[in-house]
Amino acid sequence: MLRVTKLIGSSTLITGNLVSCECAATNSLYSQIIRWKRKPIWLPTAKSKMFRVPVKPVIPKEDNDELQRLSNIYRTYMRSLRKYMIMIGKKNEIQFDHSVVEAAEAADFEKCSAINNEWNEEIADIRKYRLHKERTQRDVGNWWRMKNYKEMLAENQEKVEEEVRSVKKQAESFITAENIDQAIEEALTIVIDHNAAIDHDGNFYKGEYSDTKIDIKQERQLKQ
């Protein structure tokens, strides 16, 4: 179990807090070493170190010259880098000036407009050729359709004329108001014999009609 304790008769400025460990084991292997806690940041400088004069380190001449050389090189590089960054900043100020930016945008717009006009001309030529080709194909298709339509009309007209001619031939035997008297006279003079028949073999039978009655019982016997 950890517990925060204080040393009796000691000031917190000198000793501070201690962190100790208590355990029930009597074996020394389980004992924990006490560690001094670091001085808090809000405490002032210790009295024993208040008037201490630190010993100035003695640096050999060779090491001092080398450190001076490296320091000069570092300062030179940093000065060059600083001037370079200042130069870049001035260039950016000139480059991103409002008038300069507007001039660059105008030049870029003119360039893009010229390229766009070239593309539009190319597309216009392609579209003109395509429309001409489609128009030619459409005219050819219309010509063939018109030709087929005229041929169909001619065939239909020929069929109609043929039907009219056949009807005219048949109309010669029609009874009209002009030849009705002649048709009546022919109907009265021509005697038609209705007692005629044709069998399945094509034999023609002509004669008087005989009204022969067959007995019903006899007919049933014949059917059976």
Closest CA to 19 of 37, 45, 38, 44: 37
**pLDDT reported for residue 8:** 44
Q: How far apart are CA 155 and CA 45, in angstroms?
A: 128
Neighbouring-strand partners of residue 4: 19
pLDDT tens-digit readout, 141-189: 999 999 999 999 999 999 999 998 888 888 777 888 888 888 888 888 8
pLDDT tens-digit readout, 18-70: 444 444 445 556 666 666 678 888 889 888 888 888 888 889 999 999 999 99
pLDDT at 193 over 80: no
**pLDDT reported for residue 21:** 43
Tokens 């490296």 belong to residue:
70
**pLDDT reported for residue 171:** 77
| The two structure tokens encoding residue 221 | 């016997």
pLDDT tens-digit readout, 78-130: 999 999 999 998 887 777 777 777 888 899 999 999 999 999 999 999 999 99
